[in-house]
Structure 1
Amino acid sequence: MEQPYVYTVDGKPDQMEHSLTRFTLGQTEGSSTKSYDEYGMLLSVRTDGMAFFNQDNTLIGINLADDKTVSFTAPADEVTLIQKQGNTVFASYDNGSFYIMDARTGAAAGRLDTGLSYNYFGNIITDGTTLLVHFEQKCFAVSIPESLLQ
């Protein structure tokens, strides 16, 4: 990030909830910290410039460069893993669902039922409009709209 910020994630080891706070480097008396607690429970931070939160089962993305928010149509409960690559957000869920969403609008571009109980995915490979999504036991090829690649 080009801004002179440093972020901290704080929480207690015995609790699932964590908080995200932004500090300005070289902070002076007139500068302040920014807490992101108002956006709900922190799910993921610094994913290609965004942080993700669960706010009353609404998945919220915050662009950390300008604090613009995006509300996603996919639910926020039971998210296993969430990543952003370019204009696309990928999220896997405890129930085996895998969502592909537009990072700019929050709209879901697709949903895949993986049938897997272990839903952590690795790096996603893009070949044209085809994504290769590798889970521990399976690899899925998924076609996505070109608009997500722009």
Structure 2
Amino acid sequence: MKQSELEKILAPLKQDLTDRLESRGLLQAIITEHIQLINRCIGKNITISIIHKNIFPDNEVAFAHFKTLIYRARKKLAKNHTKQESGGKTEQIEKTQEITQIEENQSENVFSFLAKKEEKPIHNSCSDQQAVDDRVKMLLMRKKQKEALNEK
């Protein structure tokens, strides 16, 4: 493809860039809007570097950044394409979501098992009177033993 043909093909993108960037338009939005045009050029064996040189002759935008912009635009295009394909299947998707919610509510998981186990306390922190008395006696004996050792 000749340089003049390439300039002719990329003219709308270049014009949009100059118009919108002067009015503080977002570069990503412009590239996303014209991704089909860029993909057609790439399909005609024009490299991204040639497209970059044609659109930004003074290298206002770095080549690596331009490649990232194209990557993001392609990713968004693929995401939108997937949404459009599933657009007619919304009722089926809603039914599937309802079924999974019902299954999740009925299924037992680890947390539901633990909730059932909490009916009986895992650790009994309360003590009976006899255990408390024994513990107090033992602590008093230790205290007396320490005092006896300190006096010697």
TM-score tier by shorter-chain length is under 0.3
The structure with higher relative contact order (CA 8 Å, sep 6+) is 2
TM-score (norm 1): 0.21
TM-score (norm 2): 0.21
1 or 2, which has the higher strand percentage?
Answer: 1
1 or 2, which has the higher helix percentage?
Answer: 2
When Rg is computed on C-alpha atoms for both structures, the one with the higher figure is: 2
